[in-house]
Amino acid sequence: MPIFEYKGITKDGKNTKGIVDSENLRAARLKLKKDGIFVSSIEDKKKTASAKKSSIKIRSGGVPVKDLSLMTRQLATLIKANIPLVDAMAAVSEQVENPTLSEAVADCKNMINEGQSLHKALSKYPEIFDKIYVSMAEAGEMTGTLDVILLRLAEFTEAQADLRQRLSAAMTYPIIMLVVITLVIFGLFTSVLPKILTIFESFPDISLPWYTQVIASISQVFVANWYFFAGFIVISILLFLNWKNSSEGKKSWDALSLKLPLFGEITKMVAISRFTRTLATLLAGGVPMLNAMDIVRNVVNNHVIALAIDEAKSNISEGESIAGPLKKSGHFPPLVVHMVNIGEKTGDLENMLTLVADAYDFQVKSKIDSITSLLNPIMTLLIGVVVFIIVISIIVPMFELTSKLG
């Protein structure tokens, strides 16, 4: 059924826009008129499949997690209320505010109406619905528990988004402070200090303290070569990013990131949290273990941890346990290995993995809070020390100059 995008005015005189599906343009106008909307413009959004997918790819750039989670919850609620899947998706597509997601859901609804399964339709939009989402939807369709699976998916996406937000928030302040320190020092050494030092130079009988002479020398180097320092910083950052994004560079960086002071422990805990929560969600959704392991290895976003997961998958395919290779890798703490081992023996692996994920999420939050509380005073103290040294280097000679002139 064609999809139309419209703009119009409601009975209250307010501007409105959205999408509506109908047999043809005339029927769409009548449907909107019946709903009390006076159409100012309307166009058919049902293009060729290739053109439509191309449009989604360009516009999506990743649908916000909160929009995807809300849509998933709404769809689960409607399905749980025994509303047919096609009708539920039609209702959700009109309810969703994000235009990219709304269009994708509406197109998926049309594909389902034409006989495709939900997971096949969702897989047409990998930029929006990742492998975890599609695999869970497939398991839900196969087991007849789609509403339950979708609710778990919503909870999972919200948990992952919350974790990313915490990490982002923890890094924002130190980065901002580092940039501020750099700009302050650069401004002082290239603009403020040269002007003040010029005043001192006009009085050759004043002997400058050694620390003022050091500051003056540094300032002269900065002024004469600022473009070199700026270029060096920019080129170094670009070279680092290029190396980090290369195949070998990523492997080396992933290994190094696990050993960094302060942040290495957080990196490992985040990877373990993602591994356990994702695997628990997939297994609880009915996804086979080997398929789940394939998906999970890409979620941890660390090559070293992914290799341990690959080894565990090989063990499972040969009929062995998952706990052995996790312990052998040395990157999974004894608590994780122990809980996984108990889960395998009792047949309650999903719940054990969820408990581990919850514990590590709490530890990540506590660690981030402690690091943030530690970094804040350190960065503030650093700025204070730098400014104090520069100010003292200026004030002491200034007092001497004032006393001589007085």
CA–CA separation, 164 and 110 (whole Å): 34
| Structural contact between residues 379 and 198, judged by C-beta atoms closer than 8 angstroms | no
CA–CA separation, 105 and 93 (whole Å): 6
Query: Which residue intervals of 61-98 are DSSP H helices?
Result: 65-80, 85-95
- Three-class DSSP category at 254: helix
**132-164 burial code (b ≥16 CB/10 A, e <16):** bbbbbbbbbbeeebbbbbbbbbbebbbbbeebe
Q: Which residue has the tokens 């070293």?
A: 304
| Bridge partners, residue 18, by sequence | 6
Whether 66 has a pLDDT exceeding 70, the answer reads yes
Q: Where are the domains of the chain?
A: 1-46, 165-406
Whether 53 has a pLDDT exceeding 60, the answer reads no
Q: What's the pLDDT band for 45 if we cut at 50, 70, 90?
A: low
pLDDT digits (tens, 9 = 90+) for 231-241: 998 999 999 99
CA atoms within 13 A on the CB side of 222: 18
Topology at the third CATH level for domain 165-406 = Receptor-associated Protein (1.20.81)
Q: What's the pLDDT band for 56 if we cut at 50, 70, 90?
A: very low
pLDDT digits (tens, 9 = 90+) for 115-164: 889 999 999 998 888 888 888 888 888 878 888 888 888 888 887 777 77
